[in-house]
Amino acid sequence: MTPGQKRAKKLLDSDHNYYKKIAEKSKQSQKRYKMNTKKATIAAWKRWHKDEPLPEWIEQMAE
């Protein structure tokens, strides 16, 4: 066994849901990233098009 495999085995032995938790965290960070990119896009649009309404493609961006 490589050192990485040993470490993974210890983590799994101590907490059976370890990798499930990591997967959840990555899902949360993906959601946060999408939310932040939408907010940044809206901010940039408002900066350059002050009086215009938001275009449909920005409103349809993933939340």
Closest listed residue to residue 33, CA positions, set 62, 53, 6: 62
Q: What is the mean pLDDT of the chain?
A: 85
Q: How does DSSP classify residue 52? A: S
Which whole number is the average pLDDT over 2-8? Answer: 87
Residue 15 has what pLDDT? Answer: 83
Percent of residues, the chain, with pLDDT higher than 90? 3
Ordered by start, the domain boundaries in the chain are 34-63
In contact, 35 and 51? CB cutoff 8 Å = no
Each residue of 6-63: pLDDT tens digit?
Answer: 888 888 888 888 888 888 888 888 888 888 888 888 898 899 888 888 888 888 876 5
> Does the reported pTM lie above 0.85?
no
